[in-house]
Amino acid sequence: MTPELKRIDMEIKTSSLTELALMCRVLGLSEGGDVTALRSRLWEYYKISTDTGIVIEDNRKIITIESARSTEYFTIEAVDEDYARLTGDVRLSLKDGEAIHRIRAWEILFNRSRNIITASGGVEYVKEDGEKIETFRGESITVNIDDWSSIFLGGISERSIQGDGTTYLFSGTVITRDDEDVTILSKASIGTQGGNAVKDEPLWSLNASRVWLLPGSDFAIFNAVLKVGEIPVLYIPFFYYP
């Protein structure tokens, strides 16, 4: 059993009827029944065996609300969709297999029926997958947690490359990611910063009409201008970096 599931198991065992009902509501489960029924429902959801304490491993995504000043649950009856709205220094973590996704924002709206999360206000999104870390900071993001397709507005994406001492900075007015982990930036720019000196001036930069960030460390650019410091030195119609 992982440390996170051990914590969840302990929380289920020690929570009151009201707290268990709230946990079920967040997960979209029925809130009916007594304490025993609610605990059984939650153990079944997380695939925790109450006899042996062994977790049955599967591909289930685990969402943890780490902090929020207020929480509101409501239903839009016209489209029959359930929502949860979290406000005030909201922090969420989502575990999907070996990858961990962390979202921090002032407000998060979770469409529980369609598994879509929209975050706004000082958004920071971090994806940790092995030694690869990707960070987005911007105005807002919308993420479908079924396939991790997403839309980022007005922000910067940072990628650390395994075995490379350079942090690559990608920014764009609109950043989209599909279910195959291909990220597309419109009206984009790319820059580098040596080592971990994030505040150093870029060694070079590219301004492009469009940038594709491909799985791994590859990227491609279209209609770009290369600058060294602030000096334009080269026009690039198309470029692919493997």
pLDDT of residue 196: 43
User: Each residue's pLDDT tens digit in the chain (242 positions)?
Assistant: 676 777 787 678 777 777 788 888 889 888 877 778 888 899 889 888 765 334 434 455 778 888 888 888 888 888 888 888 999 999 998 888 788 899 999 999 998 888 889 999 999 999 888 777 888 888 899 988 887 888 888 777 776 655 555 667 778 888 888 777 788 888 888 877 554 444 556 678 889 998 888 877 777 889 999 988 888 999 999 888 77
pLDDT of residue 223: 92
Of 194, 136, 192, 199, the residue nearest 169 (C-alpha): 192
pLDDT of residue 237: 92
pLDDT of residue 235: 94
